[in-house]
Structures are given as C-alpha cells and as structure tokens.
Amino acid sequence: MRDFVLVTHTLWQEAPRIRHQLARLLAGAGHRVIFIERARHLLGAGQPDPIEVEPGVIVVRTRRLMHHQLRVVPPLDWLNDLIAARSLRAAIRSVHCQADATIVNFMHDGAFLRRVFPNNPILTVIHDDFEAQVRLRGFGHVTRNLRATCRASDRVFAVSTPLVQRLAAWCKPELLLPWATRPYRQPRPGTSDRHILLFWGHVDIGLDTDRIRGICDHLERHHPLVRVLIVGPTQVASRRAMTVRWLEGIPNLRIESARSLDELPLDHVLAALIPYRRKGDVDATELPNKTLPLLSCGLPILKTGLPHMVKAPFVLPVDTDDQLDEALEACRRNFGDWQPDIRRFVESHDAAHRLDLLGVKPAI
C-alpha cells in the first residue's frame, strides 16, 4: 500500500470531478489517499481535524493567504507559498504520511509543492482551462503560475487535447481522460417506445437553458412524442432555483431530483442529452464525466457546445434544429448497430487503463 497526496482547490463535498474519481480509484486499488481540500484563507476559520470520508480516503484542509485569482504579482505568490507550504507540512504530519508518498497536484499554482516534497514524484493534472477563467486580466498571473507548476512536476497530464497542446510549450503533457466506473450493459433492443432525451448530471447554471428551450419547442412542433427529462442534484440551491426558473412552463420537459441511472426509465430513453453552453473553460472539455456512465447504458450522446468533445458516430451535435432532426433519425436508425462500438469505447476507457497510464499498481 502506498500513500497518495491529492492537492486540490476543491472541497470533497463538491460535485464529483476527476480528482474525486481518482481518489476513489486509488483507494479502490488498495492505496491510502490524503485528499487536500481547497485551503481556507489565512484569516478564515480554524483548521479542522483530518477525517476519513470513505474507506481509504482522508480529507485534510490547509490554509493560504488569499484566493489564487487575486495573487496578481509575484510577491503575493511568494508570501502565499510560504503560508501554504507550512500548513501543508503540518497537515501531512498529522496523518503520518509516508515519506515516499506520490503527490498528485490538481492546482495550476502548485509550483511550491516541489519545496515541500523535494524528493517525491509529483504528478500534475491540469483539469480546466484556467487561462480562460482568469480574472483581473493583464497581469499574466495565471499563465505565470501554470508555467511554473508544469516545470516543477515530474509528469503533467491534461484532460483534453487542446490543453495538452497548450501545455506543450513548457513540458511534455499526456492526455488523461475520465474512465468508466460501471461496466457496459446491453440495452433493450428497439426504439419504437424510446421517447425520452435524458440529461443526467448537475442541474446548474452551466446548462444552456436557451438551447434547451429551443430543443423542447422544436420537439413539440415536429416530434411531439419525444420529451426531455432532466435529473440531478446541484451544488448551490440558488443556482438550481435559477435554472429551474428559466425552464419553467415547458410542457414537454420534466426536472427531477438526483437519482441513480438504474432508477431511471432507461428502456424508454432514446439518447442522452448534454446541453452545455459555450464558455471558454468548458470549450476545452473532451470527455465530460457523465459521458461514460451514460454510454455504459448503451445511450448515444446528443450534445450542444463542447466543440472538442470526442468524435464518434454515436456522439452527435444538436446546436441547430436541423442537427436535432438528423440526430433523432440517426438514433432511431442506428441505436442497435452502434452498440458494439459503444461497448468497445467504454471498455477502452476503463479504470485499469488509467492506473496503468499513471504508473500505479493495485495494492490488492
């Protein structure tokens, strides 16, 4: 058993993303994971005790000077790194971390980790287009920190081809896509009674509500038997309320609270719908986390936005009404024929492949 220290700008209870998935993957392989949560500001509340949130996953929270977007000049980075490094060392001692632990960094501003762990392997995973999200433009602070972090790492991974290409100026990044957490299951054949387009994921302001309304309006006029079902939780109640309010009054759309895929009427689902709005950080996404669970159910994917999403016959754009018509017809015509390809895609993106890519051997 090895110790893996995952350093993030994320709270454990936030919507599961690749850092949560990797923590569970490593713990499931018999290793111990120390998940460093998003740090508290220096003047914030006290530091809580470490807590084991799941078997093999211990969550620890550290401290920092201020939010990373506000550190616009190098002296602020220097002071923040002193505080963050001291806090991180204390956190590592509190959980009796192995001296030879592997460090997995999910922060774009993690260059200081090399000083804390001078002899440990540091794997950095760049999981967002941080430069597209930058605030206080003109200071270059995000790019400065991203460059330093890549150069301080032993290996760098990115979750999309555009990010790999961007980081290639400073290192030799490798592509790390999400992986399947459930095996492929052959769906019931036939499409005659498949009349649902399913969104299964977080109901939040990232959804393209204008396009959803447009899809529902087109369905009502041209495909009156097809309906949209939106199922999922949200991180912030006010965001869900805002999204629901924008979608109120649509007769062929229903929104439900979070349920597992196995609880849904999958025998009546024609395709999964991933309706994201165009945004700089989202545009770099190649394989949204929800894609593989949906494909594991044998469902084709209809997507809006996501210009760099994986290319496959069963992944179809529906940014326009004409594309929607073509996609619905293709799903009805090819639903069964696509299943072998969908199965191969899911099986080629399994957990064992990702562990092998990271150079991690199961401990059990």
**pLDDT, tens only, 255-307:** 999 999 999 999 999 999 999 987 656 777 899 989 999 999 999 999 999 99
CB-CB contact of 176 with 125 (8 Å) = yes
pLDDT level of residue 348 (50, 70, 90 thresholds)? very high
| Four-way CATH pick for 3-179+352-358: 1.10.600.10, 3.40.50.2000, 3.30.429.10, 3.40.50.1820 | 3.40.50.2000
Cα separation, 106 vs 359, in Å, equals 17
Region 189-197 average pLDDT? 96
pLDDT at 66: 78
Q: Specify the pTM.
A: 0.86
CA separation for the pair 43, 45 (Å, rounded) = 7
Domains of the chain, residue spans:
3-179+352-358, 196-347
**Are the beta carbons of 302 and 269 closer than 8 angstroms?**
no
To the nearest whole percent, how much of the chain has pLDDT over 70?
94
Looking at residue 364, what is its pLDDT?
67
Question: Top-level CATH class of 196-347?
Answer: alpha beta
Q: Say what the pLDDT of residue 282 is.
A: 74
For residue range 108-127, what is the model confidence (pLDDT) as tens digits? 999 999 999 999 999 999 98
For 85, residues 6+ apart whose C-beta sits below 8 A from its C-beta are: 112, 115, 116
pLDDT at 234 over 80: no
Residue 283, pLDDT score: 78
Which pLDDT value is given to residue 235? Answer: 66
pLDDT confidence tier of residue 225, bands split at 50, 70 and 90: very high
Q: What is the pLDDT of residue 309?
A: 93
pLDDT, one tens digit per residue, over 153-170 is 999 999 999 999 999 999
In this prediction, residue 53 has a pLDDT band, given cuts at 50, 70 and 90, of very high
